[in-house]
Copies of this chain bind each other. A is one copy, B any other.
Amino acid sequence: MEDVKDYNVHIVGSNRLDNELLHNFLEQSTNPSINCFLNDTFSHSIFQEKTEDTNLVLWDCKDPKRYDHLKKLGKHIPNAPERCYIACINAHPDHKIEKMAINIGVNGVFYENDTLSTLKKGINAILNGELWFSRVTLSATLSSFLINNSCHPPDTNIDEALKVAASLTKREREVLRLIPSLSSNEEISEQLYVSPFTVKAHLRNIYRKIKVPNRVQAIFWLTQNYRLLED
């Protein structure tokens, strides 16, 4: 009865020699609880079955065909089970692959000219749930998320937005935050243990204050101004 959680690393690539060498290195020179497997085709089962183990697929990108296949895989990756990771190996030292990879949910990229110690460090980081990309890529991607999630379009006045957000009462902020996840005023009223009439009253005040005509636009306002709403 084993309680030790294993790390399974699956190398997927067609270059037999290179990958056998890598296999050899991973089995011998890294974390002793790493089990390494070598495949020339990708077994979907890794990304579908839930398991206690941690799985990492190392996707050899040297072959252009396999590189294209990765893009198709993209729709599945973000929905892989917990502790199921995928990283590219043998990538060309070209930033484009990093952006594509990070966007489709790949957890890291290793390059042809990386050192073995980088590879070792990176694999352990990914097995630990981290991402392994260049600082520039991580920074740029995160920046774009932060901008999308909080910055205002250039035509809006931040002072105005702050004033508006501050004018919302505690209860109004509460109602506003419930709009996206609940279908109807009825549901909101049940959630808050008040009458649907009360919810309607709050909503009317909210719409007037944030100057939107309906709940769809209120959701939009909320995504733009979420940060300003904190109590």
Contact = CB atoms under 8 A, between A and B. Distances in A.
Contacts of A76: 158, 162
Interface in A26-83: 74-76, 78-79
A142 interface: yes
A75 B183 contact: no
Contact of A220 (B79, B141, B146, B180): B180
Contact of A78 (B125, B139, B216, B227): B227
A146 B105 contact: yes
Secondary structure call for the A interface: helix
Interface stretch (A92-100, A128-136, A196-204): A128-136
A219 to B, nearest CB: 6
A179 interface: yes
A75 B220 contact: no
Interface string A109-134: 00000000000000001000111110
Nearest to A47: B158
Contacts of A78: 146, 150-151, 227
Interface in A133-173: 133, 135-136, 138-143, 145-146, 149-152, 158, 161-162
24 contacts: A75-B162, A76-B158, A76-B162, A78-B146, A78-B150, A78-B151, A78-B227, A79-B152, A79-B161, A104-B227, A105-B146, A105-B150, A125-B139, A130-B139, A132-B139, A138-B142, A142-B145, A145-B149, A180-B216, A180-B219, A180-B220, A182-B216, A183-B214, A219-B219
Given A125-B135, A125-B139, A145-B149, 9 more contacts: A75-B230, A76-B158, A78-B150, A78-B227, A102-B142, A131-B138, A138-B139, A181-B220, A182-B216
